[in-house]
Amino acid sequence: MQFDDKIIDHLERREHAYLDRLRALVDTNSGLDNPKGRLGCLEQIERVYKLMGFATERVARQGEMVHLVARRPATARPGNGKRAPKVLILGHFDTVYDSTSDFLTFSQQGEWLAGPGVGDMKGGIVVAQAAMEALAAAGQLDAFDWVCCHNADEEIQSPTS
């Protein structure tokens, strides 16, 4: 099986798992009035990184803001003796919707998905992690130096991150 086919096969086989992961993140309210919910999102995101062999660090700041940094250095070197490419993934897991909002849960109608963060960063984080898992399935995750930073305060212009 060729590289592209391995990636596509992996993603297609895991589509339902990725939707479940997105549903869990979206259904965890991470508004600014909900530090427990933000921490819950951080824990879900961190769990996936740890399963892929990333080292994670929680960075606590004032105002009950806890951010996540996940790192995984390359173990494979390009054949030309150069250093492995560096990849930086940035994203936030807070939402603008506080715990009293009417827009708090994941919903799906056919192929249409809705909920706080679906089209923004909760969805983006799931997509980024799915891409990394597909690279791992194709034997290529180790070809890159990874640093992934996820902040809890983007909705208020990231003052602590």
Residue with tokens 């259904």: 27
Which has the closest alpha carbon to 148: 64, 53, 21, 82? 53
pLDDT tens track for 67-91: 999 999 998 776 677 889 999 999 9
pLDDT tens track for 56-67: 999 999 999 999
Count the neighbouring beta carbons within 10 Å of the beta carbon of residue 131: 15
The CA-CA-CA angle for residues 33, 39, 42, to 5°, reads: 130
Count the neighbouring beta carbons within 10 Å of the beta carbon of residue 116: 23
Indicate the pTM of the whole model.
0.94
